[in-house]
Each structure stands twice: as C-alpha cells, then as structure tokens.
C-alpha cells in the first residue's frame, strides 16, 4: 500500500495532531495510520521495507545473478525492489523496473514514499510498464544495458499468464543465460503461497513460493524473503 508521504513526514503530522487535539502521541500515530489504510501505526511501520533491506541486499548481488525477492501481499516487495534500484543508481549503476502491475504514476508515488524524487535519478532509472513484458521483451529492452545494470521484474508469476509466451521455466532459463552473458543482475519479485502461515513460521522460504506451474527454483542464485518490514536471505536449493 502506497503511503501519502514518507514515514518521517507522517510522524511529524502525528506530532502536530497530538498537540492540536491534545491527545497522546500514540493515539495520533494510530489515527494517521488509519488515514493511510492501516489498523495501527505499528502495522503501518511493519509493512514498510526498512532502508537497510536495500543496503544489505545490493552488496550481496554480483553481475550475472538471478535473484528471487518474495513475500506475501503487503510486505513491501515493490517498495523494496524500488529501494534496491535507488541504491544501485546512487552507486552509479543503471536501474530498470519492469512492471505489469503499476503505471508510471504509481511508480513515481512509491518512489516519493521512499523519499526519492524520480527526476533526481532520471538518466539512470527507467520504468517499463509495457503489457508485452516477457523474457524475450526483457532481453530486447536490456540488449544495450551497461555491465552491472540492476533490473527488477514485478513480478515472476505474471510472466506465466500469457498463452503466446513460452512456459515460465523456459523464460527463466533464457533470462538466466542472458544475465550471465551480459553481466546483469535480474531481481524477480515473487508471490508466496496462500498456505504460508506467519504465525507458525516468521519468514517464508523457498518451499513457500507460489508456483501455479512447475519451475526449478534452483535456477535462481539468491533469494530474499520479506516479512513484517524485515528481510532474510535464504537458499534456493
């Protein structure tokens, strides 16, 4: 869920509300959270990716890597993916966001919620919202991308929806070969199966990835699982 403003500005709004309405700060924070569509401030904070997620992930990624970033809905996959691209751009690398889910305006709003002005990263950051996104499309779009470019694909399962494209396993193998040949980092956001129960297991793992059709997940070099605003790196085999 996209916030109307970065968290630090929402906190400031809550402090002003606390003073003006003479209510405890925690009550003001909960009221601000309700305005953002959350039951409480703690839930709002828990579902936003922490900045260290992107800081911790980028140094782990090497050119040629195929990466899975997975989590249940509302756990901040999109924001974490965009934060990762912003970190790549800050390091002077190219960042590209392929999405079948969002419009350019949606992406700009999510960047703003992270405190990032899209205009400030123009030239190194691109957003591709084409309905034609598939392995072949991504290969064409990244054909001239510089070495160590980071691309985030939102999301893995949507590549499996069209009848006129190869099955998902074939597409992932194509992108794996392409990433290694070109020295690119490809990060796939991924759904987690509905059967996953966070009360029984704090973080999902590779066995919890939702796969409508078979896919050899060992094709991915690394995996990052998101839950309650935190990240855990896990095995793909």
pLDDT per residue over 116-171, tens digit each?
888 888 889 999 999 999 999 999 999 999 999 999 999 999 898 888 999 999 99
Predicted confidence at residue 168, as pLDDT, reads: 94
To the question of pTM greater than 0.85 for the whole model, the response is no
Which residue's entry shows tokens 């960042």?
95
Predicted confidence at residue 22, as pLDDT, reads: 93
Q: Long-range contacts of range 126-132, CB-CB < 8 Å, 24 or more positions apart?
A: 126/94, 126/95, 126/96, 126/97, 127/96, 127/97, 127/99, 128/96, 128/97, 128/98, 128/99, 129/99, 129/100, 129/102, 129/103, 129/104, 130/98, 131/100
Cα radius of gyration (the chain): 18
64-76 pLDDT, tens digit each? 999 999 998 877 7
Mean pLDDT over each residue of the chain, to the nearest integer: 89
Share of the chain above pLDDT 90, in %: 54
187-210 pLDDT, tens digit each? 999 999 999 988 888 889 999 999
Which residue's entry shows tokens 């290694």?
180
Instruction: Kindly tell me the sign of the dihedral angle through the C-alpha atoms of 208, 215, 133, 149.
Output: positive
Taking residues 22-37, report their average pLDDT: 91
């Amino acid at each position: 869920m996209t916030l109307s403003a970065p968290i630090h500005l929402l906190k400031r709004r809550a402090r002003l509300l606390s003073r003006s309405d003479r209510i405890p700060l925690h009550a003001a924070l909960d009221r601000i959270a309700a305005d953002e569509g959350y039951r409480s401030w703690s839930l709002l904070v828990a579902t936003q990716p922490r900045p260290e997620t992107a800081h911790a992930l980028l140094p782990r990624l090497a050119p040629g890597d195929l990466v899975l970033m997975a989590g249940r809905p509302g756990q901040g996959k999109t924001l974490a993916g965009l934060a990762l691209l912003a970190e790549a751009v800050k390091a002077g690398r190219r960042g590209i966001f392929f999405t079948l889910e969002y419009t350019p305006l949606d992406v700009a709003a999510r960047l703003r919620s992270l405190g990032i002005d899209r205009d400030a990263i123009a030239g190194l950051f691109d957003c591709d919202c084409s309905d034609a996104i598939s392995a072949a499309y991504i290969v064409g779009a990244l054909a001239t991308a510089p070495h160590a470019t980071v691309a985030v694909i939102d999301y893995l399962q949507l590549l499996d929806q069209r009848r006129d494209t190869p099955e998902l396993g074939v597409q992932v193998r194509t992108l794996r070969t392409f990433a290694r040949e070109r020295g690119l980092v490809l990060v796939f956001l991924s759904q987690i199966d509905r059967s996953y129960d966070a009360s029984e297991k704090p973080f999902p793992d590779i066995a919890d990835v939702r796969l409508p059709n078979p896919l050899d997940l060992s094709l991915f070099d690394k995996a990052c699982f998101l839950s309650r605003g935190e990240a855990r790196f896990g095995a793909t085999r």
